Structure 1
Amino acid sequence: MTPSTAERPQMPIEDFEELAAAAPAHVHLEIVDGRLRTRDPLSVEDFEELERRAPETVRLEYVHGKLEVKAMPDGNHRSIYMWLLRQFLAQRPDLDLTPESGVKAEAYRKGRARTDAALVPVDHFRGHGEWSQANGILLALEITSHDRDTNQRDRIDKPVGYAEADIPVYLLIDRDNHTVVVHNEPKEGRYQQSPSYPWGATIQLPSPVDITLDTEELKDYAD
């Protein structure tokens, strides 16, 4: 199915102007075809400094060497997260489904991904900084947003980035296609299994997650 995501601007011009004013002097930002870009290659260190200075309304990621803006969640996005949280807590009270987790992803941990949530042992992130090593993360969660970069970011780039970081499961709740994709078995930078299920199916998430999801309620959040 072809995604129905609307071609929305990546960020308001007011947010761009505030971010550009706060950027380090040697980091030059611009908008190209509605997308945030840098004039020169951006190092991981420069990205982290830019992210620290970003206004609260801007969420940044560093994916495959590119600066990306992650869309702010809407009401259905937040409701889907809470639906998942209730199921995870009921079945695995020994784990936290921690929202908005910054993860060092990709090969050699050169990427910086801001997951919608990360499934980890209770208190796993205690004492961590903004960006955590992927070690110990059992599952990365992404819920697609209605922005123009969802297809490339969530369906193409992040499966590679999370597999390269050896995160056992990448769970994608796809709001455009009304599917749940369970990427698992990372090996040599790729997930070996990526079954897709329609909303309404009962899904057994593989080890080390071992949770059964009844996705019938997802139909309530179709938009």
Structure 2
Amino acid sequence: MTVMAERAIQQMSVEEFERIAKLVERESDAVRLEFINGRIGIKGMTGGDHSEIIRWLQERCIQARPDVWLYAGGELGIEVGAYRKGRAKPDAILAPRKTFLGQGDWSDASRVLMVVEVTSYDWDTDRRDRKEKPSAYAAAGIPIYLLVDRDHCTVTVHSDPTVDGYGHRHVADLGKKILLPEPVSIELDTEGLTDFLS
């Protein structure tokens, strides 16, 4: 990419990004676009293990909290980051039922209780899932960010959001129990997740 092209992307407005994202996603089911820290990110198709991890989490959430739903699949877009100038499509979003009723392509994140990302085996996973997304989700005021890290065989719970990031970070090896604190209030026994590490 040329220096001029990089500058154009860095100066892109949210409205320009939304137009591009709509065009790309209309043409391809294989690509989802995000806009975090002024940079376009590309999320490719997920594999079967990735989908099974989300399904496993859905089951646990509905058993523990039937009043909320874990929306899965990265289809829902939310406004994130400082002053909501970012756009993300998390792998899953925990929110009260009907939170997204009547919302457009990019919903306000104020009712979101938790976002979930499952690492992919992409070259930019470290930057995207471990650095940029925690910052953006915290700035949006999302109470919990759950990262299922298949590279490190860990689960990380980020909580206590501030404009500068999450104030608390708890890491547990897959197979251990970990608490998703208020407002989620679910204890996850992650033993079952070890089946999906391929």
Same fold, TM-score > 0.5, yes or no: yes
Q: CA RMSD in A?
A: 1.3
1:125 and 1:138 map into 2 onto residues whose CA distance is: 13
Q: d(CA) in 2 for partners of 1:72 and 1:127?
A: 26
Name the CA distance, whole Å, in 2 between partners of 1:212 and 1:196.
14
1:73 aligns with 2:46: yes
Confirm or deny that 1:86 pairs with 2:59: yes
Distance in 2 (CA, whole Å) between partners of 1:150 and 1:190 is 18
1:166 aligns with 2:141: yes
Give distance in 2, aligned partners of 1:181 and 1:114: 19
**Alpha-carbon displacement from aligned partner over 1:26-46 (angstroms, at most 9, x marks no partner):** xxxxx68xxxx7561321111
Q: Where does residue 178 of structure 2 map in the other structure?
A: 203
Aligned residue in 1 for 2:15: 45
Kindly state the Cα deviation for residue 71 of structure 1 after the two structures are TM-superposed.
2.3
Report the CA distance between 1:189 and its aligned residue: 2.6
Residue of structure 1 in register with 2:83 after alignment: 108
Gap regions ≥5 residues in structure 2: none
C-alpha contact (below 8 Å) 2:82/2:163 kept by paired residues: no
Q: By how many angstroms is 1:63 displaced?
A: 1.1
Within the candidate set 67, 82, 105, 1:130 is matched to: 105
Q: Distance in 2 between matches of 1:194 and 1:215?
A: 17
* Partner SS state of residue 60, structure 2: helix
Counterpart-to-counterpart distance in 1, 2:65 and 2:146: 16
- Which of 134, 159, 166 is residue 191 of structure 1 equivalent to? 166
Alpha-carbon offset, residue 209 of structure 1 = 0.1
Aligned residue pairs total 189
Counterpart residue number, 1:154: 129
Percent identity at matched positions? Answer: 43
Query: How far apart are 1:90 and its partner, in Å?
Result: 0.6
Partner of 1:120: 95
Structure-2 separation of matches of 1:109 and 1:39:
21
Tell me how far apart the structure 1 counterparts of residues 97 and 34 of structure 2 sit (CA, whole Å). 25
Amino acid at match of 1:83: W
Alignment check: 8 A CA contact 1:143 1:172 kept: yes
Give the whole-Å Cα distance in 2 for the aligned partners of 1:218 and 1:65: 33
Shift of residue 111, structure 1, vs aligned partner: 0.4
| Match among 52, 58, 61 for residue 31 of structure 2 | 58
Q: Secondary structure at the match of 1:177?
A: coil
Report if aligned partners of 1:112, 1:131 keep a CA contact under 8 Å in 2: yes
> Which structure 1 segments of 5+ residues have no match?
1-30
1:65 maps to amino acid: G
The residue type paired with residue 23 of structure 2 is: R
